[in-house]
Amino acid sequence: MAEAQLIVSQDEFTCSVCLDTLTDPVTILCGHNFCLKCLTDCWDQSQVCSCPQCRHTFTTRPELNRNTLLNEVIKKLKKTTLSPPPPQNYAGPGYVECDFCTGKKFRAVKSCLTCPASYCQTHLQPHYEVATLKHHKLVDPDRNLKEKLCGKHQKSLEIFCKTDDSCICMMCVVTEHNGHKMVELETERVEKQVSDV
């Protein structure tokens, strides 16, 4: 009988808290896996017990039991194929670092203008899974996020005030630019490109 081949990536066995291969893995009710120590430390430092990945909140602190099957799979993979993440995943000179990585920082794959923060692939996951984060504006990694925020309100600059010739946030529209001629920032950018040609 032919043997089935299983192809897995290290990301499937990575704790989203420490970003390392799972150690003493535990699975919580929402289905996410973490290192026993990482999850225990996380919950000991917080008054609320919630999943660090999807933010599902538990009314009472769940009892954490080691996932023995997952632990055995990780042990076998470590002996055969599992190796540390390749160095190109770490943020080097010229790359944007993940704002949520601790220790050695991974390279950011997206920046969120709503949060405003930059995320590696692992820390970006909640933006794809959590309903309230799915509507955030994600852009390519940007080391100049602060320049895209209103200095007064810390909101993303989305509007161009033609009257004052300045980029403003939605709060500025309401508080300081009432009655001014305004357009979306992208519309103004396209208009300026066309007029410069």
Q: How many angstroms separate the CA atoms of 181 and 189, rounded?
A: 15
Q: Which CATH architecture has domain 10-84?
A: 2-Layer Sandwich (3.30)
Q: Which tens digits make up the pLDDT trace of 130-185?
A: 888 988 888 888 888 778 888 888 788 888 999 999 889 888 988 889 889 999 88
| DSSP SS3 for 93 | coil
- Nearest to residue 16, comparing CAs of 53, 48, 50, 46? 53
Counting as low any pLDDT under 70, the low residues of the chain are: 1-11, 80-88, 197
**pTM over 0.75, yes/no:** no
| DSSP SS3 for 61 | coil
Domain boundaries for CATH 3.30.40.10 within the chain: 10-84
